Chains A and B, each alone.
Chain A
Amino acid sequence: MKTLCVIKNLLITIGLVIIAGSCKEQLLERKPDNKLVVPTTIDDFKALMEDPYTFLTNYLNYAIVSSAEYELTLENWQSLSFAPERNAYIWASDVFEQSTASGGWDNYYKQILYTNIVLEGLEKIAETQQNKEDRDQLKGVALFYRSNAFFHLALIFADVYKAESNNSLGIPLRLTSDINAPTRRATLGETYARITADLEEAIQLLPDFQRHVTRPAKAPAFALLARVYLYMGNYQQALHCADQALQRKPNLIDFNQLSWQDDYPMEMYNIETIFYANVSASASFRAPICRVKTELFNSYDDRDLRKQAFFGLNEDESHSFKGSYTGSNALFSGLSSNEMYLIKAECQARTGDLDAAMETLNTLLKTRWEEGAFEPLHSENQLDALKAIINERKKELLMRGLRWYDLKRLNTDERFQETLTHNLDGTVYELPPNDSRYTFLIPWYIIEATGIEQNKR
């Protein structure tokens, strides 16, 4: 009996000790899913910056729908199942209504959250000889993405930048990942100061090239900064940056070499692509609903190969757009060298170097025309030169959302003002220059949650 008692007591004790002691740490501290991490390492941050679903896309749908580059029939417009898309087409004052559409607000701030997590996380990692290169590069990537997001948000949800009115409302500049930090709108001056400063810093940190055109490097950072300065009206700086970008990526596609009868003749990651990004799909961009405006289509010369490469024929003889740099029906919203040529030309013209401006423009156009058919453009005065360049911007950079930004900035100059119109079976909708509707309303639920000041529209 005694031995048994000892045995049983021993067994119980052993059992309990096994359970209580050894496995506690092993059971409770191990992570529930191997793929889950609390991001703390350089590799984790790298992986966050690689997320294609967060960073691949620029949210320019509403800018494109509102740019009057294409038109819809009444039936097709009515058949658009998404009300904000219909609203944007007719420049309704409240595009998003009470829907969950955010016009990119949610998505861009998601990008900003990622970049803030990375930037804050990198601060906590001590710099060493081994990690310096990765650390710098990652910081540059994060700054690039954050500036890109702030920039697009500013163009969609704030008025156009003017040096003299930089105290008007900008966008919330969230520079922390703390979700409890309050949201308030910075001034427009602060907004653009942050965008340019971050890009300047990114340029210092980024390598000249990355293996993939979907990943920020020096060329994309210069290209983006060139664009930012252009929209700020800082032509000197824009010229410098465009030049820097083109030094690294001067390539142009010779349209004579394209098989432009293809459904989508422009290849994805083609040689002009400095930085690759697309636009999330909208129903109205697709053939055959999308009918490019006749005057735009007709503005191309018959010997201009873009006329075939960019446009597909719908059954009713109207034209849809097929010239996206994505090689598919998705629209392109990245940075490319053709845009840099146009920025460079415009800045050269704006700063009075007309010959250089026309030469830059001709370099680009020569690749667009049938071999031997192109006659170089000349201009006598700055206005002519600018008009020619802006006209080519329209024809070269269509369906990228850039037209909306161009309209916004050019409307401030009486010489380039335009009124947009859409006609839906006799009902005519108009968007006059400098209309408050060039700035989208901030989604209602953001206003509700934060109490920040709403735009006037």
Chain B
Amino acid sequence: MLKFSHANRSMHVSRICLLAMKITLFLTIALSLQVSAHVFGQKISLTGESKTFSDVLDEVRRQTGYDFLFHSRYLQQAKPVTINIHNMELEEALPLIFDGQPFSYEIDGRIITLNPRMPIAENPDNLTRAFTEVRGRVVDSLAQPLQGASIRILNAEGKRTTLQTTTDNHGFFLLRNVPNGARLEITYVGYAKQIVQVQTDIGTVILKALPGELEEVEILVNTGYQQLPKERATGSFVQIDNDLLNRRVSTSILDRIEDITPGLLVDRRGDAINFDVRARGTIMANDQPLIVVDNYPFEGDINSINPNDIQDITVLKDAAAASIWGMRAGNGVIVITTKKGAYSSSNRIEMNSNVTVGSKPLITSLPWMSSDDYIEFEKELFAKGHYDNISTTNPPPLTPVVELLMALRDGKTSEQEVNNQIEAFKHNDVRKDIMEYMYQPSVNQQYALSMHGGSDRLNYIIGGSLDQNRENIVGNSYRRYTVRTQAAFRPFKIMEIRGGINYASTLNRPNNDGYSDVTRGNSFALYPYAQLVDGDGHPVSIPYQYRTSFVEEAEANGMLDWKFNPIDDLYHREARNVNENLRFTADIDLSLTPWLKGLIKYQYQQVNNDRQTFYNEDSYFVRDLVNRYTQFNEDGGIGETPIPHGAILNFAAGKMHAQAIRGQLAANKKWGRYELNAIGGMEARKTELNGYASRYYDYDANILTVASQINYEDFYRTYPSSSQARIPYIGSLEGTFDGAISYFSNASLSVNNRYIFSASGRIDQSNIFGVRTNQKSVPLWSGGFLWLISDENFYHSSAIPFLKLRVTYGYSGNTDRTVSAYTTARYGGSSYLTGMPYAMIQNPPNPELRWERIGMLNAGIDFRIVGDVLSGSIEYYKKNGYDLIGNAPIDRTTGITSFKGNVASIRGSGWDIQLNSRADFFNVHWNGNLLFSKATDRVTRYERENTSANNFMGDNSVNRWATSMHPVVGKPVFGIYSYRWAGLDPDTGNPRGYLADGSPSSDYSQVFAQTTYDNLVYHGYARPPYFGSFRNEFVYKAFSVSFNITYKFGYWFKRPSLLYNRLLAYGEGHKDFALRWQKPGDEQFTQVPSLVYPANASRDNLYYQSEILVEKGDLIRLQDVSLNYDVTTKLNRNSFLKELNIYMYANNLGLLWKANPSGIDPDFPVLPQPCTISFGLRASL
């Protein structure tokens, strides 16, 4: 909870601000005090009558440059000062200033710390004197001493007595004459109190920060441009502090904000993980939040960040919070801040190590047809003559059962033999083989080590980490190491220089695609009774791409072995992706005047990415390619093989350079009741990316030779398809460049510390292609207001001692780089016909092109109920997207088939509610944290509505391809639609839909022809509009247990089922086959249509897209449990170890409840996430 903001102090907090600083800085400084107080010969002059104490301090600070640190509530107790001194030494003056004030002072370096004057405990006569002295020390969870903690003696009834003291600046305390059997109550603002039995040496008492105490402990939220005290921020910020980040164990930093950030929804169903912050504000443009690391947008793979390097994360959600990021902020901003050293702190070493073990995914739960069903089905097809017309020239991969039946038909084997073998097949389940031989338990190891410290002029942090992950697919692994260092230096009072180097290297080996890799090739699915190993456990081949007899014959004729052995083949290929990320930062802070600071920041980032796929000469890939291009002589014998039989290496590499520089001025001025905080500046950024891809034939990894004489020019007859083709050539180059210049400013004015007005503005200019110069700039702005109601004189509610209201409105933006103002063409390599370079028209001209704008309104209240039983915030927002890029109607006679322009609008709204509660019962402390979010959207304008029913059948929320989106005014961007379902025909088991007149029908072409958008079933959202989590933490002494329950409500998903035409054409089964309608009466129990031969795609389609397969997605999940044992209290005060934590974490524990009866986890519809368990320890010395 504490922010060690020292390093950022000069940059973000100006001096006047210091006066108003709350406890954070006070603590920080206090902890790091070095006993080195010297008062230089500073002279001051002060005259005045009844000056406010704060004015006096301000004057002293101005004249001497000394800073004061104290809790702001002291000011309320301060008495006016009347003083008249002239050119007096500070040392002499201070006693006069502090005369009669309810606090004393202490000078350390250039900082004067105010301490309350506590009454010294008297000797109470009514207590038995037992201990003459009781000693102890109070520290926080980072083992930093807490100065000023209250130690009170409780009597037998647990009531406070007058005997009390406070800790000194090293956290030590001493009480005399403590009665025997008494207990000590140790309290400190912002921390959970502790009660301990009295003894001569209490030892070190660790106080835990209270996560719910957002208002009491100052939280600094980082926008990437400045740090704002959260209590003064008008916008919607979510701060994830270090404790909360560390609650979860993960390789990726982004995993750690999931389920604990109100308004953030993470979707892992698609090819990429989608993050949605609040309601959707765009239709086709980028919909992912901007990720900022150390004040700059992060380029490259975010997984190259080591989570142990992260201090905290701030999520910016509304316009006031995010509009400082302008056109990139429309989807929210995730600001990640790395750890830094602190001035005047002792050298510390911190380490964290853990091991995470994950179970194998349950491959046997894949919804495949049973072997028995599959074989019976194949027999039935065979009897119907389905396999009578097998191509002899290009024979497809037939399954063993079909081969047996053919052999029987052709009289090559006996019926007995066939039946025996088929019976044996029925006992196979290939899913077991796959799970056994292609999957393994995952083991992820994580080690992180860092050292930090600082003198009064220099601080540093240096750290490194290693992650070594064995994935749960055999052969796949991930390795990351990171090294970083950051230092800050204050050569002069007014100047701070900071620099940092971050390096990360990752090696990913995605060698094996798991179960989806095992097929029969040419789109044919695997058969469920396949065997991947023989009885002795040796990997065996399966029919692949071609019929087994064809492959055997080809081999006999002298071609290469053409068999495919799925498990063996894993060891004949190797995929490696290496990613190196280097980031270098340099900042200079200057105090120009006491209230104005200047700042220059520079960042250079370089990413090198290298992807290689290597196929050795025994790999199926190489053997197949060589065979397919084998040429035949006149006499039919094997002739030339234009592709050499040698290893093939595919590789692609990319290099990215990004540079950014920012100049910024920060003003901080207070006069009377007013206080102004403002920043303004400009920045320039550029990102340059170059890449290439190529392939080497006949590559020898040992001596590094490759084939240089490949004939890419001539056409060859390929075998067995006999079509003409050139040898596949891979060679391409890419180069992109993003440039941007931005001007930004943000200001807030505080009146009486009760009313805060904020405003921000930003102009972005970028090199978006062909946008006319005057439209390259887009001004975006926000305004906000904060009212601290509970500070008003008229406010007297003792039930709610803290109440704050915030309202903001403003615009942020979004870009779609696929559109342009001019006719643009894109070069596409060389034409496969002529070998000459060719270009395609990319864009029709659109001179009116503008950036998308997203207007956001945010209104929130923050409150705390007396006794801290309940606190939290409630926010309501509206998010309106204007000028959104969408498809406009276009006359295709123009030659353009789709025209994207600023033609769409969207309206979103929602709530983010966060409630914190805490309670103590017996010795257990409970923290509850409830998050609830509502996020809804609907399209309000879209010019080219497509009402063809078929366009609405897909769930676009999964992969979010803009080309397949068909927005409809009045509906959300991602909705679930289906055809009405009239049940199965009781006579035939045919699926039935409805005709326009409402009658059930199996005339599929008519059903589809008569179904338009208007008579589709619209179920609702494809993404949950209601979601959140409920986190509970129980702390008992040094133990804590925390578990997180997440929930999602109000959405729908499509359950996959059986498609007969896929089954017939490609052997792709589904377990619903067992439930199919087989005889009249079955329609009472099942909705799975009967099997018809030949299959009818329309018939399948009606069933597959009907409402009967749409299910409610609602679910409640036990996401994780975290266990922590804090050994620190057991450590000797003088121990080498300062802190030691042992923890355990279990993740993906499973669903507690789901609305759908089909047993499907809507978040992971195909395969449930394997659960993982981690063990680790965290120590510091």
Contact = CB atoms under 8 A, between A and B. Distances in A.
Interface of A: 4, 8-9, 11-12, 15-16, 18-20, 23-24, 26-39, 43-44, 46-48, 50-54, 56, 75, 78-79, 81, 83, 97-100, 102, 105-106, 109-114, 116-117, 172, 174, 177, 179, 181, 183, 211-212, 214-215, 262-264, 267-269, 276, 288, 314-316, 326-329, 443, 445-446, 449-450
B892 A446 contact: yes
B845 A110 contact: no
A212 B734 CA distance: 27
A26 B740 CA distance: 10
A37 B839 contact: yes
B891 A28 contact: no
B825 A31 contact: no
17 contacts: A11-B590, A23-B686, A36-B769, A36-B827, A37-B839, A48-B838, A48-B840, A100-B948, A112-B895, A174-B895, A177-B895, A179-B894, A212-B833, A263-B393, A276-B833, A288-B389, A316-B389
Contacts of A211: 834
A50 B831 contact: yes
Nearest to B893: A183
B1005 A83 contact: yes
B500 interface: no
B437 to A, nearest CB: 37
B874 interface: no
Given A37-B839, A44-B825, A47-B837, A27 B739 contact: yes
Given A11-B590, A15-B663, A75-B1094, A39 B825 contact: yes
Contacts of B72: none
A32 B661 contact: no
Contacts of A97: 1009
Interface string B471-505: 00000000000000000000010110000000000
B832 interface: yes
Interface hub of B388, B841, B892 (most chain A Cβ within 10 A):
B892
Given A37-B827, A44-B839, A27 B770 contact: no
A115 to B, nearest CB: 9
A99 B1005 CA distance: 13
Interface string B841-854: 11011000000000
Nearest to A83: B1005
Contacts of B738: 32
B735 interface: yes
Contact of A27 (B684, B717, B832, B1095): B684
Contacts of A9: 592
B766 A28 contact: yes
Contacts of B389: 288, 314-316
A32 B833 contact: no
A110 B735 contact: no
Nearest to A76: B1094
B897 A106 contact: yes
Given A97-B1009, A106-B897, A315-B388, A449 B770 contact: no
A32 B592 contact: no
Given A113-B896, A117-B841, A268-B724, 7 more contacts: A12-B590, A12-B663, A27-B767, A28-B740, A32-B736, A183-B894, A215-B834
Contacts of A83: 1005
Nearest to A185: B893
Contact of A52 (B831, B948, B1095, B1096): B831
Nearest to A114: B841
A105 B892 contact: yes
A267 B826 CA distance: 32
A35 B600 CA distance: 35
A179 B686 contact: no
Contacts of A113: 841, 894-896
Interface stretch (B179-187, B816-824, B859-867): B816-824
B1059 to A, nearest CB: 12
Given A288-B389, A315-B388, A38 B770 contact: yes
Contact of A445 (B393, B768, B892): B892
Interface of B: 388-389, 393-394, 492, 494-495, 588, 590, 592, 598, 600, 661-663, 665, 682-686, 715, 717, 721-724, 734-741, 765-770, 773, 776, 817, 822-828, 831-834, 836-842, 844-845, 889-897, 899, 948, 1005, 1009, 1094-1097
A113 B899 CA distance: 14
Nearest to B735: A34
B721 A263 contact: yes
B890 A110 contact: no
Contact of B824 (A38, A46, A443): A38
A446 B592 CA distance: 66
Contacts of B740: 27-28
A19 B683 contact: yes
Interface hub of B389, B685, B826, B894 (most chain A Cβ within 10 A):
B894
B271 to A, nearest CB: 23
B587 to A, nearest CB: 11
Given A19-B683, A446-B893, A79 B1097 contact: yes
Contacts of B899: 179
A449 B889 contact: yes
B896 A179 contact: yes
Contact of B737 (A30, A111, A446): A30
Contact of A29 (B492, B715, B767): B767
A288 B717 CA distance: 21
A46 B842 CA distance: 16
A144 to B, nearest CB: 15
Nearest to B725: A328
A82 to B, nearest CB: 10
Nearest to A316: B389
B441 to A, nearest CB: 44
Contacts of A53: 840
B743 to A, nearest CB: 10
Contacts of B827: 35-37, 47
Given A35-B734, A117-B841, A327-B723, A105 B833 contact: no
Contacts of A449: 889-893
A157 to B, nearest CB: 11
A192 B1009 CA distance: 37
B769 A263 contact: no
Given A114-B841, A215-B834, A328 B893 contact: no
Contacts of B492: 4
Contacts of A326: 724
Interface hub of B388, B825, B890, B1005 (most chain A Cβ within 10 A):
B825
B824 A52 contact: no
Contacts of B841: 48, 110, 113-114, 117
Nearest to B1061: A79
B592 A12 contact: yes
A95 to B, nearest CB: 14
Contact of A4 (B495, B661, B686, B825): B495
B839 A51 contact: yes
B724 A267 contact: yes
Contacts of A114: 841, 895
B684 to A, nearest CB: 5
A172 B895 CA distance: 12
A212 B828 CA distance: 19
B28 to A, nearest CB: 26
A44 to B, nearest CB: 6
Nearest to B894: A179
A174 B892 CA distance: 11
Interface hub of A19, A81, A109, A177 (most chain B Cβ within 10 A):
A19
B354 to A, nearest CB: 42
Given A36-B769, A112-B895, A8 B834 contact: no
A450 B723 contact: no
Contacts of A116: 895
A211 B823 CA distance: 29
A106 B768 CA distance: 28
Nearest to A51: B838
Interface hub of B662, B736, B767, B839 (most chain A Cβ within 10 A):
B839
Contacts of B776: 28
